[in-house]
Structure 1
Amino acid sequence: MPQTTATPTPECVLDLKATLGEGPVWIDKEKTLYFVDITEKKVHRFHPDTKDLKSWTAPERVVFLLPADDGSFLCGLAKGLYRFDPRSGEFAQHALVEPEQPSNRLNDGCVDAQGRAWFGTMDDGEEKPTGAIYCVRQTEGGLAVSHHDEGYTVSNGPAVSPDGRQLYVCDSPEQRIYAFDVTEAGELKNERVFAELLDGYPDGVVTDSAGNIWCAVWGGGRVICFSPEGKELRSVPFPCSNVTKVAFGGEGLRTAYVTTAQKGLSREVLAHEPLAGNLFAFSVEVPGLPQREFRLGK
């Protein structure tokens, strides 16, 4: 891995040329990184030490993977929540989301310290503010999905602070990252603007162990690290425009793995960005947080 410096240099660790690489999560007990290619309906599992790559094809566009406490994943597909079991490769439908909004699809997600999952929806055409933020938890009767906020054109993130008291959510076309207070009951309060971008669009966000927020910038060719107060601490440039999300993994969770995308780039731009769509990594001084698991409670 590259040595830690004031401005790390990302290293391409997997030449995949994903159309829309997204949603990386580190599974420490496997020492592997799972991530998706939304457009190609692919789930990928990459072992950085051996360079082994295994892939599965989802029934439809797959937008996020969140590990569950039974070894499976809560998986967001375009129109609903599924259980994905990498041991069998099977996808089982759990719940449809927003059937009354046929032009919407699910987007990014995360798990909080209580084992609840947060995710958002978006207008598939990226034009109308029809998206919303949801929370899902396991109950005796099955998955319970609750609606918490709306008015998003392209919801992104989300991410939870180390203490679980703040939720960060992006509305990418608005170039804004919002923060909410999270109550013990899992309600969102006190919405405010956490940060605004002038160049590029905030995509996936993740928090580290110090509460800093790492934001991948779509169309901006970089990853920005913000302090918990919203001050920009560091900007890490990338050799491609569309940077999508960060996950912390590796020894001591001191490696930032970053997905990127070719989607939306012309042939001319791709000729100048031959690494677009690949998986990158760079070293960090502050470790990430262990990946939380969705609590099935069984």
Structure 2
Amino acid sequence: MALNIPTRQLLDVGSKLGEGVLWDAERKVVWFVDIKQHRLWHYDPATGSNAMAEAPGQIGWALPADNGLLLCGLQDGLYLFDPATQTFEEYMQVPGEPAHNRLNDACTDPWGRVWFGSMDDAEEEASGRFYVFDQGEIRPAGPAGITITNGPAVSAQGDRIYFTDTTAQKIMVADLSPTGVSEARPFVDTGALFPEAYPDGPIVDADDHVWTGLYLGSRVARFSPDGELVAEIEFDARDVTKMCLGGPDFRTGYVTTATKNLEPEQFAEYPHAGSLLGFDAPVAGFEQARVRLG
């Protein structure tokens, strides 16, 4: 079940809370964020070049949009990021969100909608929930009453969407269509498999299997469409947050990690903590749809 796949350190950026990694197929770069240090990174695997932009607040995700900009989720709402000028512009607030919440993770579906979650920044209150951004409109969609949301993640066909309740150690699934989403139902109880770890950012691969980072678990795990654990890959980082599948053939895994809960003496045990990591994946991903802004 554990795959003996070599992993490698791609960028040592010292992320406090690396997250939101995704492959931009048009630009052929990897985007990822460091939520706690307000940083948006991009990395070009062909050249090794990379750069960082300072966000105006905690940034949970950045998704390429159909106008050449990136739609970003920050603590206080949605922003647009212009890669040419490296600037952020406030775009839209999320109605009804408490001031102590922030946005955490997101994805697009095949129709260019953005599915995202909010959470209590102190990780104490069950004040988080999921939303959908659909051509300029934000509305609640999916589970609510969650302390730490992660995902969502959508299948290539757009028929399934996965929601993660990190604190409860559970991943849920719902049926998805161009017109809406069904009520979420249980998919995997990761706590039964990894009692000391917490499911973080999920993705779906081209074979409709679900991958999740495991915070405190030093690994990513892969589940079949019926929720069976089929593979694990370990890393030299304790707090693995999210992965994506990218590169020219969508067979390179890119993984973000965190250091915010590590003690100084633990860094020697986890030498790749806070880095962007990579590995050669045994399966492929697929191109993510760009955000439809309007």
Shift of 1:94: 1.3
Distance in 2, matches of 1:183 and 1:56, equals: 35
Q: Render the CA deviation track for 1:34-65: whole Å, top value 9, x for unaligned.
A: 11111111111111121111111011111101
Where does the alignment leave 5 or more consecutive residues of structure 2 unmatched? Answer: none
| Match for residue 138 of structure 2 among 135, 140, 145 | 145
Shift of 1:100: 4.9
Distance in 2, matches of 1:73 and 1:184, equals: 23
Shift of 1:286: 1.7
Moved over 6 A (4+): none
Q: Render the CA deviation track for 1:204-253: whole Å, top value 9, x for unaligned.
A: 00111111111000111100011111111101011111001111111210
Q: Provide the residue aligned with 1:226 in structure 2.
A: 223
Shift of 1:99: 4.9
Number of residue pairs matched by the alignment: 288
Shift of 1:98: 4.5
2:40 paired with 1:43: yes
Alignment of 1:117-196 (within 5 A): 117-138=114-135, 143-148=136-141, 149-186=143-180, 188-196=181-189
Q: Provide the residue aligned with 2:19 in structure 1.
A: 22
Distance in 1, matches of 2:176 and 2:288, equals: 19
Answer yes or no: is the 8 Å Cα contact 1:7–1:234 preserved in 2.
no
Q: Which moved more, 1:260-269 or 1:113-122?
A: 260-269
Give the letter aligned to residue 190 of structure 1: E
2:242 paired with 1:245: yes
Give the letter aligned to residue 18 of structure 2: G
What is the DSSP-based 3-state SS (H/G/I as helix, E as strand, rest coil) of the residue aligned with 1:268?
Answer: helix
Distance in 2, matches of 1:242 and 1:69, equals: 33
Alignment of 1:1-298 (within 5 A): 6-138=3-135, 143-148=136-141, 149-186=143-180, 188-198=181-191, 199=194, 200-297=197-294
Shift of 1:165: 1.3
Distance in 2, matches of 1:183 and 1:76, equals: 24
Shift of 1:82: 0.7
Give the letter aligned to residue 109 of structure 2: D
